[in-house]
Structures are given as structure tokens and as C-alpha cells.
Structure 1
Amino acid sequence: MSKTENSKLTSRTEGRDLILEREFDAPRELVFEAFSKAEHLKKWWSPEGWSTPVCETDFRPGGTWRYCMKCTDESQEEYGMESWGKAVYQEIIEPEKIVQIDSFTDSEGNIAEEMPSTKMTINFIEQDGKTKLISRSEYASAESLQAVLDMGVLEGVTETWGKLANVVEELKSR
């Protein structure tokens, strides 16, 4: 298990699964809300130096979440690059769990078959007014998992969940 300084993110792999955990200083209803509404996802679903200019959700089993992340940092080699994705919600138990199939797509929403998709199970566990978030991403193969690790998924999630913590703080203060 590894832990990144200042991020509170822990990660481990089990076969073809990537398990990520982090505690948030907020009730799980608020953390769950940040995952379930486009207005919140748009603020945090991208690493540092990226934005989410497209974020559309139909938050229900069978519904989809379509998004585009765009590099807005001129100092990054990827400046101007877009990364499109789509999740299809399989199961939602409010405020405990979200199961979705997440895939890379083109701008039209067509799944990029050459890129790895994942079945992602996100659990929201209440612990003394805080929320332990556990994300388990199951890939088709160990090679698919390695491909996303090589793409920098751990760094990206660390930064993204850092932005999530800020959004959750905003939600606490309303």
C-alpha cells in the first residue's frame, strides 16, 4: 500500500483491481452529493491544470454521465488536449454506494475500444461524522490496469480528490 504525502490517498492493487481510499472531513451525504450532481462534479472531476467544460449526468441506474476534461495549463505539454469519458450507472444506493462502468470515449460518446474500461464501485462509509471513500476499479486484465497506472491515474486521482475535498468543504458551509 502506498500513501502520498498531503493527499491522504492510499492505494493498492489486487490482481486486476485498483483500490483507492481517502477520508473526507464531512458527512457521507455531502460526499455522495458531490459525486451525484453535475454542478459539483464539474468543479472537481479533473486533475490540477485541467477543467471539466462538459459534464452531463442522468444519475439513476441505467443513466449515464458524460464528461470532457480539458488541459487549461499552458505550462503543461498536454495544453489544449481533451479527454472524453462516459460512465453508465449500474447501481446506486444513496448515500452508500455507486457502481458504474467508466470508459474513455470520443467527443460523440463512442467508446474508445483500444482504451481500458473499468467497473468502478465507490463506497461511502460514515465514520464519526467523516466519510471514508473506497473506490475499487476492476479492469478486464492486469495489463489494462497497468496501462492506466502508466497513464498516471494515481497522480490524477490524488489531485482530483484534493479538489473534491475543497468542494465538500464548500457544501459543508452552505
Structure 2
Amino acid sequence: MVDLDAFGWRRFVVTHDGGLRLHMQRVLRAPRPVVFRALTEPQELAKWWGPDGFTTPSVESDLRPGGGYRIAMQPPEGDLFYLVGEFHEVDSPERLSYTFRWEDPDPEDRETVVTLSLRDAGGTSTELVLTQGDFATERRRALHEEGWTQSFDKLEQLVSLAASA
């Protein structure tokens, strides 16, 4: 299934070997180095990470293959929780791949792999392609789709401002 949301994301779910994956694409009005920095530098990542209403009090990152990261996420109401993982691939400004798991996972959660690919889309724009999977349930895949969509809306605003400065 392929559809476009209100922000121009092309979204579809692919079932592969019985697994659920998320695939999203978007063109951002900023060059690849600006987008890659926003995806990887802790101070920049903290500005856009998380669904609407969430804050990111801290980001720890050892940005290299085999290095780890830990992101603190604070919902509008509720307790602080953490996302952790390990970098598989760091190829600036083209590709970033890492594991994604919650420190205290929901019973329906399991570790997934996120891959972010950045392609030049005409000098001052970048096509960002996200894949993540495989999810244990459709409900968890849909939750991540909502979170990424809201996060990338904030990312688009951040990189557009940085590129125009």
C-alpha cells in the first residue's frame, strides 16, 4: 500500500519474511551535511527528537560503528524513559544505521534496526529515506510511524532554518 500524508511523506508497509517494516521518504529543504548533523549531533538531535509534546533532556552518543547511544525521552505526562542502541553504519553525509530498543520495553516491543539514507535532491534539498523493522506487531509499527512523522516534521523546520541562516 502506498499513500501520501498531509506533509508529502510517501508511506507504505512491506511484509517480508513474515515481518513488519516501516518505510518513509521525505524531501527536506537543506543540503545533506546539514541534515546529517541534525540526525547525529546530540545538541541538534535533542531539538527535534520525539513525538509532539515530548522533550529530549539528554542525548549520549559515541558516533562510530560499534559505538552506542542513549536518548532520554520525557512525555508531557509520565516518567522519563530511555531509548538505546548501537551504531552499525555511519557514513556522513549519506547513511546512518543503528539498532533501536527501549531500556524497559513494552511486551510487544523488540529491537529493530533503523536505516536513514540521505540522497542529494538538487543541491539545497535532501531526500531522507527511513526504514525500520521488523516490528513484533502492527500496533507497534503504527506507533513508530506516528512518532517518526511528528519528529520529522520538527526536523524539517530545524534544518530549513539552519539552511537559510
Asked whether the two chains share a fold, i.e. TM above 0.5, the reply is yes
The amino acid that maps onto 2:37 is: E
Aligned twin of 1:126: 120
Q: Structure 2 stretches of 5 or more lacking a match?
A: none
Structure 2 residue aligned with 1:116: 110
Work out the number of aligned pairs and report it. 158
- What's 1:148 paired with? 140
Gaps of 5+ in 1: 73-78, 107-111
RMSD over aligned Cα, in angstroms?
1.7
Residue number in structure 1 paired with 2:4: 3
Checking the alignment, whether the CA contact within 8 Å between 2:28 and 2:160 is kept in structure 1 is no
Judging changes above 3 Å, is the alpha-carbon distance between structure 1 residues 83 and 147 closer, same or farther for their aligned structure 2 residues? farther
- Matched ranges for 1:60-139 at <5 A: 60-72=64-76, 79-106=77-104, 112=105, 114=107, 115-129=109-123, 130-139=125-134
In 2, Cα distance between equivalents of 1:60 and 1:154: 26
Extract structure 1 runs of 4+ deviating beyond 3 A: none
Q: Using the alignment, how far apart are the partners of 1:38 and 1:145 within structure 2?
A: 30
Deviations 1:34-54 (A, max 9, x none): 111000000001111110012
> In structure 2, what is the equivalent of residue 161 of structure 1?
152
Aligned residue for 1:109? none
What is the letter of the counterpart of residue 11 of structure 2?
A: S
Deviation at 1:145, TM superposition (A): 4.5
Q: CA deviation at 1:100?
A: 0.6
Does structure 2 conserve the Cα–Cα contact (< 8 Å) formed by 1:18 and 1:145? no
| TM-score, normalised relative to structure 2 | 0.87
